[in-house]
Structure 1
Amino acid sequence: MKRLLFLLLILSQSALANCWNKAAHYYHVDPYLLYAIANVESGMNPYAVGKNHDGTIDVGLMQINSTHFTALEQHGISERRLMTEPCTSIMVGASILSGMIKVYGYNWETVGAYNAGLKKENYPKRMVYAHKVWEKYQQLKSVAHERNDW
């Protein structure tokens, strides 16, 4: 039984690794950046739910905001899927980030906007969030470099 659980854990991690790479390739975003965002957003908890001051919620691994739910439902992606299918959450998060990058450029302020939005008054929040992601990103890249896994 322990061997079976171990094998399932290894296989699920491998499948999830493929999700990061697939989303990164499709949306032209660094997979380590996506992973760093998920780590900061949800602590890698696919069932995470965050409640915001404005009454919206964030769900899943990539903490997709409820303002996106209506548009996502038109594509067959429900709130439930975002929480029960980590790969779906990764793809949606990558899509949202990619859309922002296309408009605002590939920079740390845009990464900060993934969490804090683009209102002018949210600039400090964007930069605090971006710094957290940057730190996690640097950690991940360092480990990957040490393992020659890049």
Structure 2
Amino acid sequence: MDAIPSLPPYAHVTREAVQCAAQASLRYDVPELLLHAILRKENGRVGASSKNRDGSFDLGPAQVNTKWVEYFAKFGLRKEHLRDDFCTNINASAYIIRDNFNKKRDWFNAIVAYNIGPNNWTPNRYRIGHKYASDVIGFWWGFQNYVDAQRGIRRTADGTPTAAATSPIRQAQASPAKPKQLVFSLSSDETGSE
């Protein structure tokens, strides 16, 4: 939980959001502030779904696309879990981002793939994904700058910390982490496998 309590206010800064994002960050080796940046960009809500032009839906706070429902079903998850449970949604989001990073080998293109999917990158689709990823990176850096300021960390013009700190976007990734089995939370009257 490196980001809290020093995140700037935004719609998803709640105790649950912070705890779930921190846990998902550790579990899937995805920068915590990147998860918050996706939440900020997507601006979804627990219980919400948004219909896309292709007929699919984006679910919950991180707007996980229903194209993932079949995949996550093998973990005992249903569409309702992704839509209605914050921690399940952010864990699914982190899993997808990590999977994309392992395939694309950089955070920017992992974010593009989160938005437009990992395949079929036509010039028009990539333009849409590029804009999305640019916005997410902007939020990520904004969060990082805010956290740095709260901690008294200053950076040079090229982003290098002048104090002992490492920017999340420059963190070394020696080898890709294999996404671990999806871990999720369900209310006490439901069951699922971890």
Question: Taking structure 1 as the reference length, what is the TM-score of the superposition?
Answer: 0.84
1:120 — aligned with what? 121
Identity of aligned residues (%): 24
Whether 1:109 and 2:109 are equivalent positions in the alignment is: yes
Higher relative contact order (CA 8 A, sep 6+): 2
> Does the CA contact (< 8 Å) of 2:44 and 2:59 recur in 1?
no
AA matched with 2:18: A
CA displacement at 1:130 relative to structure 2: 0.6
Matches of 1:18 and 1:136 in 2, distance apart?
19
Matches of 2:146 and 2:46 in 1, distance apart?
23
Matches of 1:113 and 1:21 in 2, distance apart?
22
CA displacement at 1:84 relative to structure 2: 2.0
Q: How many residues align?
A: 138
1:56-106 superposed Cα distances (whole Å, 9 cap, x missing partner): 111011111111111212211111112221011000000011011111112
AA matched with 1:139: G
1:91 — aligned with what? 91
Matches of 2:112 and 2:81 in 1, distance apart?
25
> Does the CA contact (< 8 Å) of 2:56 and 2:67 recur in 1?
yes
Q: Secondary structure at the match of 2:35?
A: helix
Q: Which of 136, 140, 145 is matched with 2:143 structurally?
A: 140
2:72 — aligned with what? 72
Matches of 1:146 and 1:49 in 2, distance apart?
35
AA matched with 1:81: H
Matches of 2:106 and 2:84 in 1, distance apart?
29
Point out where structure 1 has 5 or more consecutive residues left out of the alignment.
Answer: 1-11
Whether 1:13 and 2:14 are equivalent positions in the alignment is: yes
AA matched with 2:150: R
> Does the CA contact (< 8 Å) of 2:48 and 2:84 recur in 1?
no
Root-mean-square deviation (CA), in Å? 1.9
Matches of 2:129 and 2:15 in 1, distance apart?
32
**Larger Cα-atom Rg:** 2
1:36 — aligned with what? 37
Whether 1:48 and 2:48 are equivalent positions in the alignment is: yes
Task: Judging by fraction of residues, say which structure has more helix.
Answer: 1
